[in-house]
Amino acid sequence: MICQFYLTLRCNVECEFCDVWSNPSYQKEEKYQEAPTEKILIVLENVRERGVEELHITGGEPLLYEKLGLFLEKAKKIGLKTSLSTNCLLYPDRAEEIKGLLDTLYFSLDYPFAEEHNRSRGRPLFNKVIKSIETATRLKENAVIFYTLTRDSVLYLPEMVEFCDKFNINCYLNPVYDFSGTQGFEKATLDSIRYFAKRKNVFIHPAVLEFIKNRGNNIARPRCRAAETVITVLPSGRFASPCFFNQAGREGKEDICVSCMRWPYMLPSFAVGFDRYRFLDWLYRRQKK
Ligand code: SF4
């Protein structure tokens, strides 16, 4: 079981594909407001007691959370494996403070070129990503480029692989969450992704490609197992189930679940059940060991 911990919904960039920074309900609704850190640390203990072994910290931009160091120290103390996604704007300044407290740092990068990445993120972030890579390398942190693939950005896959080679950093391929964003990708695109994924420093879960090919979650026969495999915590410390995007509905069966490919929920889902996704998940985990 893993935990998706939405530490804060504050954000310091304006990405074109995300509404966290602009959605008024995230600013107004009580459940999205940040609880005092003391309460959040108790929630973290509770999460661990429920059998969670892996903690992924997300948001918003988690590096905006002032007491992140304290939160991570607690997470390590109670034996959690930790990872965090960041847009890199603040990482170079806060890297020392959180050094050694994260098993994996995911640095978001949408394009291997400054102009395109800065446009996609609404802020001049490209150089911050490079500075973050250099900082993480100096501090011997395990950082990974988190490359979101759309029908547009996937065209730059060879250049992105080259970029990662140049900086000697691993690249995790993350197709966008919804089928309309990928429109399934052409067969040739999927073949190209598979080709580059053979590289030592490029990673994609094989079940992801299979799931895209099959048009994501089918609400008539849902593959989503978010409720069984993921605990979602909101900034207020409240739990959301089955997932952040569908907080009161049936798992995998609501309108929002049509063709859903929200990987933070789907990847853990593939680890249960008896089908080809489960088999591919088993294979992937075996290879990773
Ligand atoms: S929206 Fe949530 S509940 Fe629905 S399929 Fe996606 S992850 Fe599952």
Measured between alpha carbons, how far apart are the two ends of the chain, in Å? Answer: 18
CATH for 50: 3.20.20.70
Rounded to whole angstroms, the Cα distance separating 260 from 218 reads 8
- Number of separate domains in the chain: 1
pLDDT tens for 158-188 read 999 999 999 999 999 998 876 555 666 888 8
Residue 269 has which token pair? 């889902």
Instruction: Check residue 140 and give left, alpha or beta (phi > 0: left; psi -120 to 50: alpha).
Output: left
Question: Where does ligand 1 bind, in terms of residues with CB under 6 Å?
Answer: 217, 224, 226, 242-243, 245-246, 251-252, 254, 256-257, 260, 262, 265
Q: What percent of the chain has pLDDT over 70?
A: 97
Distance 230 CA to ligand 1 centre (A): 11
Dihedral of alpha carbons 234, 237, 242, 246, sign: negative
Rounded to whole angstroms, the Cα distance separating 85 from 130 reads 15
Which residue's CA is minimally distant from atom 1 of ligand 1? 257
Distance 158 CA to ligand 1 centre (A): 31
pLDDT tens for 182-231 read 666 888 888 999 999 999 899 999 999 999 889 899 999 999 999 999 99
Write out the residue range of the structural domain in which residue 238 sits. Answer: 2-288
Which residue's CA is minimally distant from atom 7 of ligand 1? 265
Q: Which atom of ligand 1 approaches the CA of 265 most closely? A: 7
Q: Provide the whole-model pTM.
A: 0.94
